Structure 1
Amino acid sequence: MKALPRRRAAVLVNSALVVALLGGAAIVYTTLDSGTSTAASKPQTRSATVSKGTVLATVSGSGALSSPTDAGQDFVTGGKLTAVKVAVGDQVKKGDVLATVATTDAQQQVDAAKRALTTAEANLTKAEAGQKVTTSTPGKTDARTGQQGPSTSTTTTEVDDAQVAQAEQQVETAQTNLTNAQTALAGTTLTASTDGTVASVAGKVGDTVSGSGGSGGSTAKSSSTTTTSSAPTGFVVLTNPTGMRVTASFSELDSLKVKKGASATVTLNAQSDTKLNATVLSVSSLPNSSSGGSSSAVQYSATLQITGDTSKLRTGLSATISVITGQADNALSVPTAALSGTGSSRTATLLKADGSTERVEVTVGVEGDSTVQVLEGLQEGDRVQLVSTTVSGSNGFPGGNFPGLGGAGAGVGGQTGGGARNGGSGGGR
């Protein structure tokens, strides 16, 4: 029973502390509120200054690098490989021998064609020579005696035009056959159609390869990547970064802004710090991809020529392409966020030196990616309003609460509760 006064004293002390804490918080909160509530609730104005610079408008696309001189080399005449003279990584020059196949059959065809041509030419010579024909002419009759004189014989050469024409056709056919046979024989040797690096070889000595056929004296049939970004195929594939290009796809809206001759920047996806300059060579008028349904996405391709050193580039590298669609140098400009409206006529809020504002009409030119060219309505050095924002929460504090007050109250409540619990505990005793 003697300890009871001490417990009551502790409760009284705790209560006094709570009152003091709440009072101090109220004083601080009132002071801060009176000093900041007006400023915090006032909109904070952001501004920008009209300045001179370059305004750029661009559109972006994606694609892959290719070279018009990359080529896939195939045999004209198939057969059993007798030699493969190159390996991956070798550097070759145009005309270098890459591989050969057996020539036996092709040579036999050439020999047979030569014999046929010789026979046809002999037949033509004979037809053109014609045949000798002997004709008899009766003698003249003597007018006085009435007797007929002796007859005379005449020998002539007759040429049958139909036979000559037929022989000429046979010679022409035989000559064509010989030419084709000689082409086939030459086609047993595969030569490089361009300078380059051997990227792949599709066989080894002893393998049998097929031929592509063809005529005209070409010893190899090659495919290139002139119009596509896919890698070429062939028995031997040659790559050459000279004249490297990039074929990029653009959305249908952006493709309308891409023009032949426009400048562009090519960024390699694998090396984001590598940026290459390029020029638009052509823009396709046909879509290259689409998907059905209401959310169809149509894209158009543009081919760009990369300028500068391309010696370290590789066919197939993916890239992001940024094409300049509009540019204004040494132009007055403001951030896009400073203007309202659409089209060439916009409005802006001009911030004056005395703190007042004025809404002004602004004529714009090139609309860049982040800035807009100003033609009329503003001058260099003018300050214009961007966007107004208001700090959320009442009295300048998020949620309208004094920082830590809730925690303090909880702590006080906890202390008070603790005192009650102690008192209750004591009472239990």
Structure 2
Amino acid sequence: MTVDDRFDPESQESQREDRPLGTRNEIITGPVSDWATDFSHHEPEWAADPYPIQDELRQRCPIARTERFGGGWLPTRYEDVAAIAYDTERFSSRSIIMSNFRPPRELAPMGGSPPISSDPPFHHDARKLLLPAFTKSAVVRREAATRAFCHQLIDTMEGQDVVDAARDYAQHIPMRVIADMLGFPPEDGPRFRVFIESVLEGVNLPPDERVERVEKLFDYLLVQIRDHVDDPRDDLTTYLINAELYGRKLEPSHVAGTIALLLIAGIDTTWSAIGASLWHLARTPADRERLVAEPGLLPAAMEELLRVYAPVTMARLVKEDMRWNGVDMKADDWVLLSFPAANRDPAQFDRAAEVVIDREVNRHVAFGLGIHRCVGSHLARMELRVALEVWLERIPRFGLADPAAVTWAPGQVRGPRTLPLRIG
């Protein structure tokens, strides 16, 4: 077997030494003085319940400002979120995690995790490479294994009165699906959780510690990639190693960055959506009982749960100084695209703050808008549907064991991290 020199460890180390890491800004956590002028999506009250804050901002100050993170903006109206999501001329995607670092402009147009971090025209071609793995037909082939795994998880709960539906159920489902797609060891699931927390929730760590945590992720990925170079198989990792763009194989940073994207975004978003859906059904007996009695209603209910509890918020960086919708944005200001806030805008949705599980027209934006709309939306919908179908079939009666014990992830992917449910 010929060794692929692109993934030689010494070559990778030299690349890392040359890779700029951006600049550190001020500490971003601490009490918020005024959400219109000092917002921070990493505060406990935002994690616990951001919706009243977003509703107030939408009425009072539709585009909030903060000096944290080195300066950023938070639009809360659907029309503003959509306008920015579609505007790739004035807003860059080279970093989609708002933090105390700004990646250098030289990383564009590819960014660190293509295609989600890529700007046009590179984005189109990088995204196109992934499409075959996420078609409806490709996703259907994974449904039986996903369903069997959900049953296995519930089998382990037998005899328990209280289970943590986030830690014992929701998180494991996308971990197993993504591990299978990438050809990674399924027993590495706990490591995936650590990687997710480091990348998405550790944005305010000291620079050295944050860099160290991210490097651990890429060290792990390089080991897996090297294993696939030596032992190719029919999975997404081998596909990316062999894929070509513009007549040559992908750069190592492209391969590793895309796999990091699939590992982080492919797990945390779906884990959060499953957990939030179970949380809602646990605290809303009428909806739970109706879905148990009318399982055919689940597809509509699922879309409504995605709308109301959309887990994902993405960031953009302003390309140049400009005045935009009445505010003066500076080059490299962050813009936080709150798809959850857009999904609850009463100007866009009737009864926007309510969960209407039989809502017929539901053009929500839980999977984003524009060129970066989630490439894995078919997969996420399958995982969410199967997870809820199996749970409601096996555990039709459940409720919150202790509402105060439910905790939510801070930051840009919001979902339950602990969800104790009383079952039976």
Q: TM-score, normalised by structure 1?
A: 0.20
Q: Give the structure with the higher percent strand.
A: 1
Instruction: Give the TM-score normalised by structure 2.
Output: 0.20
